[in-house]
Amino acid sequence: MGFSRARPPPDIAHARSPADAVASTSDPSYEGDGRVGESTIVGAGLGVFATRRLPRGSTARGVTYGGDVMTLLEAVAMPKKDKAYVMALHLNVHVDARRHYGYVGRYVNDSAGTANALNAEFVKDAANRRATLRTVRDVEAGEEFFAAYGKGYWERERAIEGDGVATVERSDDG
CA distance 4 to 40: 37
pLDDT tens for 89-147 read: 999 999 999 999 999 999 999 988 787 899 999 999 999 999 999 999 999 999 999 99
CATH number of 18-165: 2.170.270.10
Residue 166 scores a pLDDT above 50: no
Quick one: average pLDDT of 25-49? 96
Question: Regarding predicted confidence, which is higher, 172 or 10?
Answer: 10
- For residue 4, the tally of other CB atoms under 10 A from its CB is 11
Q: For 46, which DSSP code?
A: E
Q: Alpha-carbon distance 93 to 88, whole Å?
A: 6
* Residue pLDDT, tens place only, 100-115: 999 999 999 998 878 7
Q: Which residue type is seen at 54?
A: L
Chain-centroid distance of CA 78 in Å reads 19
Distance of CA 114 to CAs 101, 117, 144, Å?
A: 25, 8, 13
24 has pLDDT over 90: yes
Which contacts qualify for 25-31: CB closer than 8 Å, 24 or more apart? 25/51, 25/104, 30/62, 31/61, 31/62
| pTM for the full predicted model | 0.86
